[in-house]
Amino acid sequence: MTDRPSLRARAAAAADDGGLRSNLHRAVTHREARRPEAYAELTDANEAHGAAQRIRLDTLRNLPALLGTMADNVLAAGGYVHWADTGDSAVDYVESVLRRRNATNIVKAKSMLTEEIHLNARLEQAGFEVTETDLGEWIVQLAGQAPSHIVAPAVHLNRAEIADILGKESAEPLAGDVTSLTQFARSRLREAFLDADVGITGVNFAVAESGAVVIVTNEGNAGLTIGLPKVHIALMGMERIVESWRELDVMMSLLPRAATGQSISTYVDWVTGARRDSEHDGPEEFHLVIVDNGRSDILGSEYDQVLTCIRCGACSNVCPVYSTIGGHAYGSVYTGPIGAVLTPLLSPDAGLNDLANASSLCGACWETCPVGIPLHDLLLELRYRESAAAGPTERAAWRLWSTMWSKPSRYRSSLSTAARFGSVSSLPLPGPIKRWATGRTPIPVANKSLRKLWKRPRS
């Protein structure tokens, strides 16, 4: 972890990567362009956001009861429930199911939670063959990369780069057009589905009243992951739950609109328990793994609104930082504004707490968030939390500034000094002011004081 370049260096390198920036720009523009039309279909978008926010906040207040109902209903539908306090507990449980079923081949539908708990790496280490079946996720898996966006894992890549990655997998030369590439992916992934012993998915929403889990895709890969293998394991963050289909309806009216500018995703799969005797398809076994992994520490804290997130990724799309540097520069599983908040909360020991600084606090994330999470305010709270960890030099600098500028007379004399030297560098401002000179002309300093100007007789 210590050999990771600084956040400034990572951001600078990404901002300087013209190819990356053009890929991001194209993808983000495309996504953003579709959103207004999808939102225009709603009677009142603000009202919808308000309703969704209330549902999510109510969910947090009733979380223990909702999870209890959910678990009861999964059990009643013939499923199994595992409560995982930690990521390791979740992975261990998955591994135990795989071993009991003598499974070797696993297909997965895209799930950020499984990224969070590093499920693939752990399963591969244990000798299992894991195939991601979301096209973007498969591409980054083949490239040995991490997803760079919560919803669009390969958003940092362009078609030529993707053709290179897929070309290495193909026995025959692969044409670089979209149809050839997707046909290749389709044929390869179809084999993986047919060979799979177990399918693993995430959960977009669990519906407590019926014990169903809802999974949203545009490629139909979740349906095959759920339906073809004999075992389905669904992993959910403990906060990803609604009380009933009525609340789900509100959330589903917003998730695809916010995420990809679609009225509805191409596929919405929901599954309740294992296959019943009267049913023709579906898994023999259904397991729901409910993962805490730090969430209950957030619940009830000043940060708990972050748990209302529905992982639409809209905050990344509108974020001027994300759209300049992409996801990998964050160095975290969750990227963009939500990642800058979640990472220091879920993984405070990962050495990434400075992500809270990776924002100009412009508020675009908050403005677009379908559940109204004040991400800029949560970043400020995190910066306050992290301020205790500031070094002695920085703290001394802030104390000096505070002393100088909390007395009008000292403040005025510091302004006179700056005017005399003609530079803001002589102000008692903390921080490496000389870095302003990176690509910018100096900040002008007035040589006349405002007090004098103010008192000057006017014509």
Partner 1 sequence: MKVGLFPTCLVAVSAPEIAMAARSLLEQQGHEVVLLEAATCCGQPAWNSGQRDAARPVAAASLRAFVDADVDAIVIPSGSCTAMIRDYWPHLFTDHATEASTVATAVDRTMELTEFLAANTTEPVEAADDTDAVIYHPSCHMTRLLGLVDAPLHTLGRSGYTPISHNATGRCCGFGGLFSIKFPELSVAMADDVLDGMVDADATTVTGCDLSCLLQLSSRAKFRGLDLSFIHVAQLVAGSDPAHRQAP
Binding interface with partner 1 (CB under 8 A): 7-8, 11-12, 15-16, 21, 320-321, 324-325, 356-364, 366-367, 380, 382-387, 390, 398-399, 401-403, 405-408, 411, 415, 418-419, 424, 427, 429-433, 435-436, 438-446, 448-451, 453-454
Neighbours of 449 (CB within 10 A): 13
Per DSSP, the three-state class of 28 is helix
Residue 282 burial by CB count (10 A; 0-12/13-18/19+): exposed, middle or buried?
middle
Q: Are 405 and 428 in contact (CB under 8 A)?
A: yes
Q: How far is the CB of 19 from partner 1 (least distance, A)?
A: 14
Q: Which is nearer to partner 1, 143 or 404 (CB)?
A: 404
CB of 451 to partner 1, least distance (A): 6
- Cβ proximity to partner 1: between 183 and 449 the closer is 449
End-to-end CA distance of the chain: 66
CA dihedral 366, 62, 260, 353 (to 10 degrees): 50
Structural contact between residues 208 and 70, judged by C-beta atoms closer than 8 angstroms: yes
CB-based burial label for 158 (10 Å; 0-12, 13-18, 19+) = middle
Angle at CA 27, nearest 5°, toward 25 and 23? 55
Between 126 and 450, CB nearer to partner 1: 450
Question: Of 32 and 58, which has the nearer Cβ to partner 1?
Answer: 32
Rg, C-alpha atoms of the chain: 25
How far apart are CB 51 and partner 1 at their closest, in Å?
21
Q: How far is the CB of 182 from partner 1 (least distance, A)?
A: 31
Q: Give the nearest distance from C-beta 331 to partner 1 in angstroms.
A: 14
Rounded (5°) CA angle 9-11-12: 65
Of 16 and 72, nearer to partner 1 (C-beta) is 16
Q: How far is the CB of 160 from partner 1 (least distance, A)?
A: 23
Residue closer to partner 1, measured from CB, 57 or 404: 404
- Rounded least distance, CB 404 to partner 1, Å: 9
Question: What's the CA gap between 388 and 391, in Å, rounded?
Answer: 9
Q: d(Cα 292, Cα 246) in Å, to the nearest integer? A: 25
* Residue 126 or 443 having the CB closest to partner 1: 443
Q: How far is the CB of 254 from partner 1 (least distance, A)?
A: 20
Which residues, including other chains, have CB under 8 Å from residue 231's CB and lie 6 or more apart? Answer: 97, 101, 103, 197, 198, 199, 283, 284, 285, 286, 287
